[in-house]
Structure 1
Amino acid sequence: MDRRQGLSVRLKLTLSYAGFLVIAGTLLLAAVWVFLLRGRSNSLAVPDRSDFLRVFSPGSFGPVVFVPAGILVLAFLLVFGLVGGWLLAGRMLAPLIRITDATRRVANGPLSYRIRLPGRRDEFRELADSFDTMLAQLEAHVAEQRRFAANASHELRTPLAVTQALLDVARNDPHHDTRELVERLRVVNTRAIDLTEALLLLSRANQRSFTRTRVDLSLLAEEATETLLPLAEKHGVTIETSGDLSTTTGSQALLLQMTMNLLHNAIGHNLPEQGVVWVRTGVRADMVVLTVENTGEKLTSELVPTLTEPFQRGTERVHTGHAGFGLGLAIVKSITRAHDGTLTLTPRPAGGLRVTVHLPAAPTRARTDGGQARHTPGAGSAAGGLPQPRRDM
């Protein structure tokens, strides 16, 4: 919540206690005036020894009168201090009590509850706002995990159901062609393995269970381009790469997988012919930037933000003929977040998608020789033994 700056809790307590002491001191001075200075011609004079003697002299107030009155004044000050301090402390700590009640309510109830503490900004209200923000993020994360578990169960159930159906057919028809059955089972099993590996990679990225090393995104872009160049050649897609040294810290394997997924999606979701993919790397301030942009069908601004959700599929593939799992950009998002970066998806006005990844830059010497390369169908071949991309958006 956007609040105006208010007094801090520490200053409020200081002013409250100082005001209380002023009131107590005023009462004490009033008591001194009543019992020591009453009857003097100059009431503003400082009491002297004669005033004290007069107070305790026979015929004056005397101890019989002054001592009980003093005790009554002290008792009044004690009661006033206890009541006043209790009320002041309760008023100052009321926001904290409300926050504590909110934590208990959330612990035993829904995550949709919010404190929404009113008033101007101070330490307690900043704490309440931070708690509300944490609850919102936690609620969104839990909802995302529930959707992910439901979708993953659905996706994994499909190949298992197909396998069960194929086995039932083979059992009921002994004369069925076993070679066809084995081939179909192999395809279904391969798809189940690919899906399981994608889920494991997504889990690994979310847990940040990797060792950080210095990684150059420009080299990863070149490696991914060389690996996927045969796929681009097969479907007439031109890949253009450019950029300078862009060094960050993280897992080279995960960042390579991220780059491969982006490039694979850009090739798969492209024009039926004469499609283009642009891959660029660079450095902006203290961030390194990887941009993958492709031609293709026009995407709506409502669809683009959902493409990073697990099992969310965009437009149908025009090249690969593979339905995909809808985990490609979800994995990219998780890898980017695990490396403390940001992922931005922007639809191109002419059609296609622009994906930009910002990652923290690692300290490195500036590279003076910028390079640009253009890969066209027939210009190169894939490098063997490199990781393959997770399929689809």
Structure 2
Amino acid sequence: MVSPKEETPLPPAKPKKVTNDDLYRRSTQYRYWSFTVSKLADLRVLANKKGLKSTHEKLDNLDPALEETKAVTSNGLDKFPFVTPTEELQIITYYARKCQDLANFFRLPSQVRSTAIVYLYKFYLTHSVMAYHPQHIMYTCLFLAAKVENSFIGISNFSNAIPRTTPDSILQYEYLILQSLRFSLRCHHPFMPLYGFYLDIQDLLPKVDLKRLTRSCDKAREHISESLFTDVFFLFTPPQIALSCLWKSDDILVERYLAKTMGLKKRQIKGELAVVKEVEKGNGVSSESASPDADPAENESNLLTPQQKFDKLMITIKKCAHAIEKNTCSPSVDEARRISSKIRYCLDPIRYGRRLVKQQKETATVVVQANSEQSRPSKSGARMADAPEGPSKRVKTE
């Protein structure tokens, strides 16, 4: 008996290629630390309100019998130097830049420096500077980042290199920072995607001038380092930030590369207006990074044409570049000192009372001196009028 002819089995389906972007969207950084602009602002306002509540509780617990407490009460709580959300972000950025300098002092790699700065910004999305001074948190963030990124420094060596610190003063905030990070310690930075683009551009554009490409990547690294002091880490993915910084360095090269990647023979920006309406739903953030719970890129990839994909990506790149330019700030030392003094008053309100008492005493002393100086000329004038004529004057008269 002849067996029926067996059907030829179909070739197995090609497994879907997992991209770096797919891996990032499954990371804790994307799930926990990706926000819209409005959500990010709300978190900072909420953290500021926590700081205000903490300061008010400290003010309520002051001893009413103390002279300093009476001075604070009589001066009025509306005049108390609370820290505003804008000032909070300024002082955090100031110490983030100090963190960069301290990392350079210890000769730590850029990955450690970047992770420490991100830890610092993440911490103050849930806490206020009115509860924890950023100078102390910055030291702990850098020490923790060095451990996480396999560049460990002994706590004794670390503390001995920083004046007015002890191992306990640095380690006491470590668990608090871990809690604020939700124990999500891995940080994805744009430096690695930038290197990937550097290699991919050489592969897709073999005639590219390597000197030009190297110069552009070096400038892009500088832009990435500066972007650490902005909000783009919470609003865009690392590849988007890397492309934006590279586009800021050499826009023509990046657009040529993207057009070649998407199979476009000629760059034509024509679907831009239709895409803008869709992107603006994220309040200035691309739809790909604004909603961590969804994965719109997978659903849209089959619906958009290569031209529309190119247009949409270019809009995201330009938004990211604009955010880097707009949000970059570098507070001066005088601004940092002013805000830091307000933080110390919030942490210990009795110090503000001492300042008011001192000012009141100085004012009273100035008033007494002014009154005495005003009374002196009148008394001397009266004495001169009542004094008898001297003999010399009588001689002249005679």
Give TM-score scaled by structure 1 length: 0.25
RCO higher in structure (CA 8 A, sep ≥6): 2
Structure with more strand by fraction = 1
Give TM-score scaled by structure 2 length: 0.25
Structure with more helix by fraction = 2
Structure with max Cα Rg: 1
